Amino acid sequence: MFRQILGQDHAVQLLNKAVLNDRVAQGYLFHGIDGVGKYTTALYFALALNCLSASEFRPCGVCASCRKFLAYEHPDFFYIFPTPNFKMSSNGEIKDATSLAEYERYIDVKRKAPWMDFVWSGATEIRKESIMMLQHRLDLSIHEAKYRVCIIESADQMNASTANAFLKTLEEPPDNTVIILITERLPALLPTILSRCQTLYFNPLPRKVIETMLHKKLDVENAMLRTASLISNGNFKTAFRIASDDKSEQRLIAKTFLELACSGNELEFHQIMTKSRELLTGGFVSGMINYLSTFINDIVILKYDPAGITNVDYQDLLMNISARNDEIDETAYRLLTLLEDMKRKIDGHVNINLVIVHLFYSLFRELKAI
């Protein structure tokens, strides 16, 4: 099953070697951007450590131990992640029926499609009661596994109190216990936690890897595979979200935005701004800017290699813009720089309406009327 993890050869080889040589660290830290396989690799590592197969190709995925891990039913597997306040007991019991149902929905999504986003009902963090539950269970004897495994996802979402409570467990874990932390924000973790883990960096996924993975999971056109893999910046979760909704409002509004800017249609631009005011959040506009970046890239590519563009379905529009601008290379460079600056401003919580208006008139000045 390790062979199913694409684009992370270094991490997989290191973990596979640890399994084969039975030289396993008690603490690991998997870090890198979201959507690159950190969690799946951690889960498969847990399977491999306890796989009952005699083959060297572990995990097999079909033995009794592997099936229990994949079903999240193994008594020696603990999975901790940020949640709303479920008021969990020290033994992990969630008494509120609504909270329990939400928890089970999350586990079901994680079991079937870990690349899918899950929206919780409230603000999430890794809570102290989750760590207390873990400590309580680690005090008990191992049931049946060779290695008891705990995966803590988004470990950076521990607050200071939780992190300090967890530190004791990480410093003195019970024998034959492996703790795997996963994070996208390495600097947010306590240095004392970092120092007690073997760190593994997970690279952003190459475009071809993302296209291959999308092709296996979705029935979409090759043009959309290229678009999704380019915009995702190495994040498969983002690519899947884009490719599974090729009529994305972000992409459609980005296209409309470009058309209106090129034609200088200020009236319709302001009408759309008013109509879509609730939709135009920071995250939505940041996604729009990602699409606009691919449009600008394609406008340049059309000048040299029309077959190499990403947004094939918008070729006529992009060709029109490219043909009407004699200095498209320099124009595109200025616009791409502008788009990156606008994303930084959004991250800095600048007023979204000001960002959109500035972007519209900048595009209009640079691309001129078509």
pLDDT tens per residue across span 244-277: 875 578 888 899 999 999 888 999 998 988 888 8
Percent of the chain exceeding pLDDT 90 equals 61
Indicate if 191 and 263 belong to the same structural domain.
Answer: no
Indicate if 14 and 88 belong to the same structural domain.
Answer: yes
| 191 upstream amide cis, omega within 30 of 0 | no
Q: Is 221 part of any domain?
A: no
From residue 131, alpha-carbon distances to 24, 38, 123, 127, 310 in Å are 23, 21, 18, 7, 46
Coil, strand, or helix at residue 63?
coil
Indicate if 85 and 171 belong to the same structural domain.
Answer: yes
Indicate if 184 and 270 belong to the same structural domain.
Answer: no
Q: Is 216 part of any domain?
A: no
Number of domains within the chain: 2
Whether the pLDDT of residue 200 is over 90: the answer is yes
Q: Is 227 part of any domain?
A: no
Q: Is 86 part of any domain?
A: yes
Using alpha carbons, select from 254, 80, 98 the residue that is nearest to residue 181: 80
Parallel/antiparallel/unpaired status of strands 148-152 and 77-80 = parallel
pTM for the full predicted model: 0.78
Q: Is 37 part of any domain?
A: yes
Indicate if 191 and 257 belong to the same structural domain.
Answer: no
Whether the pLDDT of residue 282 is over 80: the answer is yes
Rounded CA Rg of the chain? 24
Residue 132: give its domain's CATH number.
Answer: 3.40.50.300
| Cα separation, 16 vs 2, whole angstroms | 8
**164, 182, 201 - which closes a domain:** 201
Amino acid at 301: I
Using alpha carbons, select from 129, 120, 81, 127 the residue that is nearest to residue 101: 120
Indicate if 70 and 138 belong to the same structural domain.
Answer: yes
**176, 201, 226 - which closes a domain:** 201
Alpha helices (H) along the chain: 9-21, 38-50, 64-70, 97-112, 128-138, 160-171, 191-194, 207-217, 222-231, 236-243, 249-263, 266-275, 282-304, 315-323, 328-347, 352-367
Indicate if 190 and 294 belong to the same structural domain.
Answer: no
Q: Is 223 part of any domain?
A: no
Indicate if 157 and 263 belong to the same structural domain.
Answer: no
Domain that holds residue 255: 247-367
Indicate if 136 and 41 belong to the same structural domain.
Answer: yes
Indicate if 162 and 275 belong to the same structural domain.
Answer: no
90-94 mean pLDDT: 82
Whether the pLDDT of residue 300 is over 60: the answer is yes
Q: Is 230 part of any domain?
A: no
Indicate if 188 and 329 belong to the same structural domain.
Answer: no
The pLDDT of residue 307? 80
| Cα separation, 39 vs 115, whole angstroms | 10
The pLDDT of residue 76? 97
Q: What angle do CA 296, 7, 232 make, to 5 degrees?
A: 25
For helices 282-304 and 315-323, give the axis angle rounded to 10 degrees.
Answer: 70
Q: Dihedral angle at the C-alpha atoms of 76, 41, 199, 18, nearest 10 degrees?
A: 70
Q: Is 206 part of any domain?
A: no
DSSP 91: T
The pLDDT of residue 40? 96
Indicate if 291 and 195 belong to the same structural domain.
Answer: no
Using alpha carbons, select from 134, 146, 152 the residue that is nearest to residue 65: 146
**182, 201, 220 - which closes a domain:** 201
